[in-house]
Amino acid sequence: MSWVLARGLSRGWGSICWDTLSGSHFSQVTPQAPWSLHYSTVNHKDEAWLVPQPSEPQRKPIRVLTPHEELFRPSPDGERDKASFVGAVQNFRQYSVHKRGHVDFIYLALRKMQEFGVERDLAVYNLLLDVFPKEVFRPRNVFQRIFVHYPRQQECGIAVLEQMERHGIMPNKDTEFLLIQIFGYKSYPMLKFLRMKLWLTRFKNINPYPIPRDLPQDPVDLAKLGLRHMEPDLSAKVTVYQMALPSDTPGAEDPTQPHIVGIQSPEQQATLAHHNPSRPVFVEGPFSLWLRNKCVYYYILRADLPPPEEKKVEEIPEEWNLYYPMKLDLDYARGNWDNYEFDIDKVTEGPIFAMCMAGAHDQGTLIKWIQGLQETNPALAQIPVVFRLARSPGELLTSSGLEGPSPLQAPPQGQEDDHPLQPLQQQGQSGVSGA
Amino acid sequence: MALVHKFQNSTSVLRNCLRPSAALNPFGALHFVDYSTSLQKPVAPPNRVSQQRKTEEGFQRHRQKEDALDITSPEEKPDVSFDKAIIDEAKDHFRRLKNEIVAHWIGPEGRPLHEVLLEQARVIWQFREKQDLDKWIVTSDKAIGGRSEIFLKMGKNNRSALLYGTLSSEAPQDGDSSQSGYCAMISRIRRGAFERKLPYDWSQFNTLYLRVRGDGRPWMVNIRQDTDLIQRKNQMYCYFMFTRGGPYWQEIKIPFSKFFFSNQGRIRDVQSQLILDKISSIGFTLADKVDGPFFLEIDFIGVFADPAHSEEFAYENSPALNPRL
């Protein structure tokens, strides 16, 4: 059907419609106008000056306002919210009974939704669909159904649904009714609606680690959520070692007391208790964790793998009964049909003892965390703690036994890992931990 | 080799001409969204449908561009004699052909038949050496003018591969695309002697196994079958891969019955099972519309036959969308 549309269009409406359908809706007006405005002035300047002048600062091209854009100006108290957006849409309707330019207005409104913060609101989308005149675009006979009836409007309807889908909003019965009223049953927006109904419901719950849509604003709650999200052990305990001091202005955190939230499971506690005090433990970080669209950083306390020599050898007791074997080690080899192991040695890394999220990325905060950990893990007092903090919060991956700085790589994001082993800190730390 | 790529390039040109009528949308000529940023929020339903559309279309083209760049950019120094190089390459191909024929006597792909038939778990891609990284291509929307970057390097101790970069959903200012922001890592097609394509045969397995360590972002796994036909250029089977984040290694098992069919980045109405006979390549895409740095550490990728999984295909075809089925 799509090629029929293309052919029909090319014959019927020529290149004009071709351009519009090529999808330059969004930036149709803006780039054209300033270019033509500037072109003439530049020519004049070139003729007047023969000596190269220092380049003047780039002037932003004068933006021509799209029609109806003045409706979306912020309200007198500077607030952009749902009420003003709804008001703008209602104002458009009062312009004319015939609703000229409704397609452009709807595209403009879709673009403005982000600023007004209503892109998640189904009622607003329904209101926007309501702007279309009803019953006009419905095909009335088979010819109109074959050749896409009012293609620009159908495209616009699909654009509205597309933005809904992009933000993960499920359309409801009102949307369905509106679409039927506007476009009819056999239209492309209706088809898209059916597809959304099918696939959005199918993929609603496929995330095995779901995160609530509304993330908590409080950083301590966010840290708790993040730590619980990362830790597979359900019996792990989350401890808040330090709360951020409440300050007068909301949102400003006191730099002298950032929040510290840690997590440790009983197994990790036991492993730390059995850890050999002669081997150091490392505090590494910060690593990034994305919760929906928020990035939080966490630190881990881990140790390297013990070298193979240190593995304890189990003693074999001597046989005291010669008639029957006391210990039977029959190693029956299983056939390949039962072997579900992969033929590769997986990456093994040292044990991780605890994780934490802190408000500040400096060593002082982490020292406080270690001190808090020492209350529940008295063995930590004897173990030297080495701090390996990355300069920029990027990925710093745990190594398995490789000491020393890794070579710096080219990419400019500053995500590179570098191990600044600081011997001063180490001594300082062993001083602290010994005390 | 060069001919193959020229052909691919010409087909891409043809496709660009046909694009207004290609079904990007049911609407045909509409491509107001060129590369969807396809928000893939961890839980909800967003843009599954649109996700595929753009990203698939996106990195089809980039694959070709990458291949084209590989071949046409001259990196040889002028003092290498072309005759010698050609003869060496021909000899290399004949040697590989001989190895293949000899291996065929032992069993499929050189392994004895009893081992291959009884195998329940197979490692397909591992990352233990530098050469293992050459089997992968990384692309991002830089190829269409976006700002995302992606890099691939070996992880610590040469024991894993690290895929990292920055995602930016700033749309390229080419007047055509309104959304952007994707990064992808695709495996190169396995080539045999004389650059024949060697597809993978995973018909005895039913689950894909990945051992990864991510940062909480949702990725998408795409499996492509043989794409010699023009119609199949942008078709692939996709599913989501949700990383947990955190310092622990995560084992992700995706049964092949869960993969849905998509063409040109859009999920299709007519869904059919993924046939595991001729798998050409696999790819990972990140396009969750959240700007910022990301990383994914991969230990290895394998397939295994999960005895507890008996589902053949997870998606029914709905009569509302295709009444003829």
Residues 237-266 of B with CB under 8 A from A: 240, 242, 244-249
The pLDDT, as a whole number, for residue A392 is 59
The predicted structure's pLDDT at residue A314: 65
| pLDDT of A254 | 52
Residue B162 binned pLDDT confidence (cut-offs 50, 70, 90):
very high
pLDDT tops 80 at residue B83? yes
Q: What is the pTM of this model?
A: 0.72
* Inter-chain touch B292–A295, beta carbons under 8 Å: yes
Q: How much is the pLDDT for B78? A: 64
Residues of chain A contacting B32 with CB distance shorter than 8 Å: 23, 25-26, 155, 159
First-to-last C-alpha distance (Å) of chain A: 79
The reply to whether residue A230 touches residue B245, judged by beta carbons under 8 angstroms, is yes
Q: Does A39 touch chain B (CB under 8 A)?
A: no
A165 → closest Cβ in B37, B49, B249? B49
Q: Are A261 and A220 in contact (CB under 8 A)?
A: yes
Q: Is the pLDDT of residue B101 over 90?
A: yes
Query: Is the minimum CB–CB distance between B153 and chain A shorter than 8 Å?
Result: yes
Using a CB-CB cut-off of 8 Å, the residues of chain B touching A18 are 20, 29
- A287 touches B at CB < 8 Å: yes
Q: Which residues of A171-207 are buried (b: 16+ CB within 10 A; e: fewer)?
A: beeebeebbbbbbbeebbbbbbbbbbbbbbebbeebb
Chain B interface includes A25 (CB < 8 A): yes
Look at residue A126 in the predicted model and tell me its pLDDT.
93
Nearest to A5 among B28, B149, B297 (CB): B28
Q: Which of A15, A27, A119, A166 to mutate to test the interface with B (most CBs of B within 10 A)?
A: A166
Residue B74 reports pLDDT greater than 80? no
Regarding predicted confidence, which is higher, B157 or B95? Answer: B95
Contact list, B164 vs chain A (CB under 8 Å): 395, 411, 415
Q: With CB atoms and an 8 Å threshold, state whether B162 touches A397.
A: yes
Cis peptide before A286 (omega within 30 of 0): yes
pLDDT at B86: 94
Q: What's residue B88's pLDDT?
A: 93
Strand partners, B187: B136
The burial class, CB within 10 Å (0-12 / 13-18 / 19+), for B86 is exposed
435 residues of chain A, pLDDT tens digit each: 444 444 444 444 444 444 444 444 443 444 444 444 444 444 444 455 566 555 555 555 666 677 777 777 766 666 778 888 888 888 888 877 778 888 988 998 998 888 888 888 899 999 999 999 988 899 999 999 889 889 999 999 999 999 999 998 999 999 999 999 999 988 999 999 999 999 999 999 999 999 998 888 888 899 999 999 999 888 888 888 877 766 554 444 555 678 889 999 999 999 898 888 888 999 987 899 999 888 999 999 988 888 777 666 666 667 777 787 777 777 777 777 888 888 888 888 888 999 999 888 888 888 888 998 898 888 888 899 998 888 655 444 444 323 323 333 333 333 333 333 333 333 333 333 333
Question: How far apart are the C-alpha atoms of A32 and A30, rounded to whole Å?
Answer: 6
Q: Which residue of A has its CA nearest to B241?
A: A207
Q: Enumerate residues 331 to 360 of chain A having a beta carbon within 8 A of any beta carbon in chain B.
A: 335-344, 346-347, 352, 355
Can you give the pLDDT at residue A320? Answer: 73
B293: which chain A residues are within 8 Å (Cβ-Cβ)?
288, 394-395, 413, 415
**Would you say the ipTM is above 0.95?**
no
Query: How far apart are the C-alpha atoms of A395 and B155, rounded to whole Å?
Result: 11
CB < 8 Å to A203, chain B:
45, 48, 240
> How many A×B Cβ pairs under 8 Å?
248
Report the distance separating Cα A423 and Cα B92, nearest Å.
Answer: 53
Sorted by where each starts, the structural domains of chain B and their CATH numbers stand as: 83-118 (no CATH), 120-135+182-288+296-304 (2.60.120)
At residue B294 the predicted structure's pLDDT band, cuts being 50, 70 and 90, is: very high
CB contacts under 8 A, A 179-218 vs B, are 188, 191-192, 194-196, 198-213
Q: In this predicted model, what pLDDT tens digit does every residue of B209-257 receive, in sequence order?
A: 999 998 899 999 999 998 788 888 889 999 999 999 889 999 999 999 9
Determine the pLDDT at residue A67: 72
Length reported for chain B: 325
The verdict on B112 touching A (C-beta cutoff 8 Å) is no
Residues on chain B touching A226 (C-beta within 8 angstroms): 245
How many angstroms away from the CA of A49 is the closest CA of chain B?
31
Residue B3 confidence (pLDDT) = 42
Determine, for residues A336 and B119 on separate chains, whether the beta-carbon distance falls below 8 Å: yes
For residue B53, pLDDT over 60 is answered with no
Do residues A382 and A277 lie in contact, with contact meaning Cβ atoms separated by under 8 Å?
Answer: yes
Interface residue of A415, A416, A417, A418 to substitute, partner B, most B CBs within 10 Å: A415
The verdict on A107 touching B (C-beta cutoff 8 Å) is no
Beta-carbon separation of A21 and B320 below 8 A = no
Q: What is the pLDDT of residue B188?
A: 93
Residue B171 predicted with pLDDT over 50 = yes
Structure tokens at A292: 């929906």
> Could you tell me which residue, B65 or B47, shows the higher pLDDT?
B65
Does A271 contact B at CB distance below 8 Å? Answer: no
Q: Where are the beta strands (DSSP E) in chain B?
A: 121-126, 136-140, 149-154, 161-167, 183-187, 207-213, 218-225, 235-242, 250-255, 260-263, 266-267, 279-286, 292-304
DSSP B257: G
**What residues 205-224 of chain B have any CB closer than 8 A to a CB of chain A?**
209, 211, 215-218
pLDDT score, position B23:
36
Residues of chain A neighbouring B25 (CB-CB closer than 8 A): 158, 188
The tokens for A196 are 């959304």
Name the residue among A21, A298, A346 with its Cβ closest to that of B30: A21
Helix-helix angle A151-166:A102-116, to 10 degrees = 10
Say whether residue B160 is in contact with chain A using an 8 A CB cutoff. Answer: yes
**Rounded to an integer, what distance in angstroms lies between the CA atom of residue A34 and that of residue A407?**
49
Closest by Cα among B240, B155, B61, B281 to A395? B155
Answer whether B21 touches A (CB < 8 Å): yes
**Is A23 an interface residue toward B (CB < 8 Å)?**
yes
* A124 lies within 8 A of chain B by CB: no
Smallest Cβ–Cβ distance between B242 and the set A26, A208, A342 belongs to A208
Among the partner-chain residues A31, A213, A402, the one whose CB lies closest to the CB of B175 is: A31
CA distances from residue A276 to A281, A380, A401 in whole angstroms, order as listed? 10, 10, 16
Q: CB A397 to CB B248 under 8 A? A: no
Alpha helices (runs of H) in chain B, residue ranges in sequence order:
2-18, 48-72, 82-106, 113-117, 130-133
pLDDT score at A391: 65
Q: Is B7 on the interface with A (CB under 8 A)?
A: no
CB spacing of B49 vs A208 below 8 angstroms: no
Do A352 and B26 count as a contact with CB atoms less than 8 A apart?
no
Q: Cβ of B113 under 8 Å from any chain A Cβ?
A: no
pLDDT value at position A226? 92
Nearest to A9 among B29, B47, B119 (CB): B29
Q: Dump pLDDT digits (tens) for B187-221.
A: 999 998 898 999 999 999 999 999 999 889 999 99
- Test mutation, B48, B241, B270, chain A, max A CBs within 10 A: B48
If we measure between CA atoms, which residue out of A118, A184, A104, A123 comes closest to residue A149?
A184
